[in-house]
């Protein structure tokens, strides 16, 4: 069983402590949601899991299948089965999107990046299911992509590389209701295939389409609440401030 474990993680950015002892676990076949207001530390956690060197791990560890990935480069984490999607993906217009998919598939398979890959033909069917126009494959990665296209493309990549653990920062950002339904269906497919999935979101709207096994709520760099889908519903009904006050967080 694949598992991503975050253990008592303390992270600083340019000397400022952002995460203050975060612990959670994502297992195969499970989906978890990380919620919290702006500035609570969700994106910092995801950047740290990805291996962004700007995010300094001061204390704690990150384990993938029981092995520490704290000192590993991002590409090594990916090769071991970790996929991370970011809140604001970086455009790489010099690299054609179709080639990026091919390169990622080959990296995961231990092949040369430019080698032909027989699975590349799968992308068109998946793109149709996600509502992603086929012309994006011949464009530079992110070149002229709308916010919704970025998110659809990101989930398409996750479906193609079949990670053991997928961590997606605000996959619902920039999507309308139809887009959220399509993304949710795709994420459910990842889970059915045995992946563990962690998504972050400010709002509970995507969770109307995709019910998580666990919901974590973050505030001021710490996890302050944990439970089932009922927590997401309570956030939607009452808002963060009221819940934090009722729980003694603030």
Is the confidence at residue 227, as pLDDT, over 70? Answer: yes
For 94-145, the pLDDT digits (tens) are 999 999 999 888 888 888 888 888 887 888 899 999 999 988 999 988 888 8
Q: What pLDDT was estimated at residue 122?
A: 87
* Contact yes or no for 65/227 (Cβ under 8 A): no
For 162-197, the pLDDT digits (tens) are 999 999 999 988 888 888 999 999 999 999 999 999
* Contact yes or no for 157/132 (Cβ under 8 A): no
Alpha helices in the chain (DSSP H): 42-50, 74-79, 97-109, 123-130, 147-161, 177-192, 229-238, 240-247
For 27-36, the pLDDT digits (tens) are 999 999 999 9
* Contact yes or no for 58/17 (Cβ under 8 A): yes
Summary mean pLDDT of the chain:
92
CA atoms of 175 and 150, how far apart (whole Å): 10
**Predicted TM-score (pTM) above 0.75:** yes
Within 8 A by CB and 6+ apart from 201, the residues are: 33, 34, 35, 170, 171, 172, 207
Question: Residue 191 — left, alpha, or beta (φ > 0 → left; ψ -120 to 50 → alpha)?
Answer: alpha
pLDDT band at 1 (very low <50, low <70, confident <90, very high): low
Question: Which domains are delineated in the chain?
Answer: 3-247 (3.40.50.300)
CA atoms of 97 and 120, how far apart (whole Å): 12
């Amino acid at each position: 069983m694949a598992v991503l474990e975050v253990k008592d993680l303390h992270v600083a950015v340019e000397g400022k402590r952002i995460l203050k002892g975060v612990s959670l676990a994502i297992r195969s076949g499970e989906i978890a949601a990380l919620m919290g207001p702006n500035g609570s530390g969700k994106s910092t956690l995801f950047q740290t899991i990805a291996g962004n060197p700007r995010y300094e791990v001061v204390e704690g560890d990150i384990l993938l299948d029981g092995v520490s990935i704290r000192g590993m480069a991002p590409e090594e984490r990916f090769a071991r089965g970790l996929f991370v999607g970011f809140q604001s993906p970086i455009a790489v217009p010099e690299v054609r999107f179709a080639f990026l998919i091919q390169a990622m598939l080959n990296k995961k398979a231990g092949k040369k990046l430019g080698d032909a890959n027989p699975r590349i033909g799968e992308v068109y069917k998946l793109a149709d299911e996600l509502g992603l126009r086929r012309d994006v494959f011949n464009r530079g990665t992110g070149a002229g992509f709308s916010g919704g296209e970025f998110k659809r493309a990101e989930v398409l990549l996750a479906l193609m590389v079949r990670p053991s653990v997928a961590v997606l920062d605000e996959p619902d950002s920039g999507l309308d209701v139809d887009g959220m339904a399509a993304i949710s269906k795709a994420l459910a497919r990842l889970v059915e295939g045995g992946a563990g999935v962690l998504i972050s979101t400010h709002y509970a709207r995507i969770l109307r389409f995709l019910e998580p096994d666990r919901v974590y709520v973050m505030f001021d760099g710490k996890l302050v609440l944990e439970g089932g889908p009922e927590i997401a519903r309570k956030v939607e009904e009452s808002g963060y401030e009221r819940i934090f006050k009722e729980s003694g967080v603030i």
